[in-house]
Amino acid sequence: METAARRTRRRTPEREAEFCGTVLELLREVGYDTLTMDTVAARTRSSKATLYRQYGNKAQLVCQALRHAKPGDLEEIDTGTLRGDLHELVSRGDDCGMERDSALMQGLAMAVRANPDLRRAFKDLLIEPELRAVETMLRRAVDRGEVRADHPALAYVPHMLVGAFMARSLIEDRPPTPDFLAAYIDASVLPALGS
Amino acid sequence: METAARRTRRRTPEREAEFCGTVLELLREVGYDTLTMDTVAARTRSSKATLYRQYGNKAQLVCQALRHAKPGDLEEIDTGTLRGDLHELVSRGDDCGMERDSALMQGLAMAVRANPDLRRAFKDLLIEPELRAVETMLRRAVDRGEVRADHPALAYVPHMLVGAFMARSLIEDRPPTPDFLAAYIDASVLPALGS
């Protein structure tokens, strides 16, 4: 009865969203490799049997949680200038949101090397939406004549942005923030593009 | 007798170097969180009791292995131009060396957040030597008049370099190489500095 009741509760979209949110929280706290089905069961007040039945194994459960999270809607950004677009891109989240994304990346860094499904779900959530948005912004900047179409730095703007996001916690012992990235864009990314 | 013999063997510098090298190999393969004293004992053909006696615990053992590895001697680089210096900096290793450093960073990404000693040993090996070398190179470039002393990008060169190194495996699904970083320096870092 208890198990059946829990299974029914799990099926609601609200409960599923809460469940997936809790799994991502745990990933940020302890990382993928330390995460156990026991911890997930305890924190989400589920039975381990239910988790295995619904998700198969830890990797599939984590993939599902990643796929459930919505990436930011970045394609709609269009301010009219490259500087405006890039600033808007990095100011979408607050400090906490960026710190959370950074923690999630660190928590999954090792696991995504070994597991292609996990890597796919991770990139779909945290990397690809940014890459597509940056590509659109740069194409428009070239069309407007803000950046030379053959500028060699164009191919490296994703590395400059994702890289600074990832590197800050190692270099400065604090997580990336919107303010840090906005200053970085003005000081480094736009000058690199001759813009 | 067996244990005493092993302990004696451990004391030679050659054996210690081999032992620390094997621990770093394991960190690249499975990451810190998955690494167990059992795995270390098996791979290094040591007894677990000896490992605990010599190193205390896993964190201390890994710190010791990181501290034992020599960071590259980067301070001696001085080619006469900023471009030459930065190219020399990234061409010190071969493709494999860079892939190894990248794997080690991923293997320790989560653990260094929680453990200050580990973070210190990790940064001393993989981050600080690069930061000091870049700082020296930039100071000389400013002294030579290659870069304006108040150029805002100066403060972000470490983020641009360490960042591209870290971001490449996520963006392009392949590890950083000396060739990639040399092209990145020419296309992005030097133009950002107006150089």
pLDDT digits (tens, 9 = 90+) for A33-83: 999 999 999 999 999 999 999 999 999 999 999 999 988 788 899 999 999
For B127, the closest of A160, A171, A193 (CB atoms) is A171
Rounded Cα distance between A76 and A132, Å, is 11
- Chain A residues with CB inside 8 Å of B31's CB? 33, 110
Written as six digits, the tokens of B23 are 């621990």
Task: Give how far A28 is from chain B: nearest CA, Å.
Answer: 9
d(CA A119, CA B187): 28
Looking at the predicted structure, is the pLDDT value of residue A4 above 80? no
What are the backbone dihedrals phi and psi of residue B146, each rounded to the nearest 5 degrees, phi first?
A: -75, -30
Domain boundaries, chain A: 2-68, 82-192
**Residue B140, number of CB atoms within 10 A of its CB:** 17
Cβ B113–A127 below 8 Å, yes or no?
no
- Can you tell me the ipTM of this complex? 0.88
Nearest to B107 among A103, A110, A155 (CB): A110
Does the beta-carbon distance from B165 to A160 stay under 8 Å? no
The pLDDT tens digits of the residues spanning A111-160 come to 998 899 999 999 999 999 999 999 999 999 999 999 999 999 999 999 99
Residues of A in contact with B186 (CB under 8 A): 152
Q: Which two tokens stand for residue B195?
A: 């150089």
Please give the DSSP secondary-structure letter assigned to residue A149: T
Task: Label residue A1 by pLDDT band (50, 70, 90).
Answer: very low
CATH classification of A82-192 is 1.10.287, yes or no? no
Contact A163 B166 (CB under 8 A): yes
Measure CA B75 to chain center.
15
In CATH terms, are A2-68 and A82-192 the same topology?
Answer: no
Rounded CA gap, A117 and B170, in Å? 14
Predicted confidence (pLDDT) at residue A9 exceeds the cutoff of 90 = no
Look up the CATH architecture of domain A2-68: Orthogonal Bundle (1.10)
The verdict on a CB contact (< 8 Å) between B131 and A194 is: no
| pLDDT reading at B99 higher than 60 | yes
What is the predicted pLDDT for the residue at B34?
A: 93
Whole-angstrom Cα distance, residue B46 to residue B36? 13
Residues of A contacting chain B (CB within 8 angstroms): 30-31, 33-34, 103, 105-107, 109-110, 113, 123, 127, 131, 152-153, 155-156, 158-160, 162-171, 184, 186-189, 191-194
| pLDDT for the residue A11 | 67
Q: Which of A103, A162, A188 sits opposite B192 (nearest CB)?
A: A188
Rounded Cα gap, residues A109 and A154, in angstroms: 26
Contacts of B51 (CB under 8 A, 6+ apart): B37, B40, B41, B61
Closest CA to A65 of A109, A2, A117, A113: A117
Question: Does residue A85 sit in helix, strand or coil?
Answer: helix
